[in-house]
Amino acid sequence: MSIVRRIRDITVATLNERLEKAEDPVRMIDQFLWSTREEIIAAEKLYQQYMNHSGQLKSQWLSAEQQRERREQQAYTALKAGEESLARMALHEKASCEERSTQYRELYEQSRQNTLDLEEQLRQLRSEYQTVYDKREYYVARMESLKLQQRMNQRMQNGVGDGGHPGTVFRRMEDRISDMEHEARSLRDIRRAGTGLGDQIGRSVGSAIEQELEELKRKLKKEGWSS
């Protein structure tokens, strides 16, 4: 189990999967960076505590080792002087020092190993932080591109919507003018048709009058009148 308490609700392993589905990936990255930074701070504090503790254990181990060596030398000196009881007492204290030396050495080695493990975790956390921070820069740029694209789309929609595009406007103007021209031609044709009809009617009426006049002349002639 990690000696650093995990306080992040997401990890690098799941971050990439969530980013593509997130509505605001930058916010998610900021949350990850914040929690990772908090974890780094906690790990650095714990690392410093382990370093201090390891130093104390090493000092106690070396002190017990020095006492063991000193008691061994005292036992040798006492035995050399014929003081066997003193030598035996020194050897007894030597055994006690040796036991403490072994105990402190084991504690120091365990603490030192934990310190190395924590150091590796710190290295990984810092690496993760930097990697995700670099990814944040990419997503910030990506989100900015998206916002600009949305603004451009909105601008184009406002300009083009409801027939606002120049091409659409000109087409509608062309259709309107064509309709007006067609209407004008129709009226002109109607007028021309009306004028031609009047002339035709006039000619028909004149012809009838001439015929009627000729008939009256023939009648007068029969009656002996001359024109």
pLDDT in tens, 4-54: 445 455 566 667 666 666 667 778 888 888 888 998 999 999 999 999 999
End-to-end CA distance of the chain: 145
| Six token digits for residue 18 | 């969530």
Among 80-94, 113-127, 202-216, the range scoring the smallest mean pLDDT is: 202-216
**What DSSP assignment string belongs to 91-157?**
HHHHHHHHHHHHHHHHHHHHHHHHHHHHHHHHHHHHHHHHHHHHHHHHHHHHHHHHHHHHHHHHHHH
Reduced to 3 states, what is the DSSP secondary structure of residue 169?
helix
DSSP codes joined into one string, 77-93: HHHHTT-HHHHHHHHHH
Task: Note the pLDDT tens digit of each residue in 78-109.
Answer: 888 888 888 889 889 989 999 999 999 999 99
Q: Between these two residues, 43 and 191, which has the higher pLDDT value?
A: 43
Average pLDDT over residues 109-125: 92
Residue 145 has a pLDDT of 85
Pairwise CA distance, residues 183 & 13, whole Å: 74
Say if residues 13 and 32 touch (Cβ distance below 8 Å). no
Q: How confident is the model at residue 115 (pLDDT cuts 50, 70, 90)?
A: very high
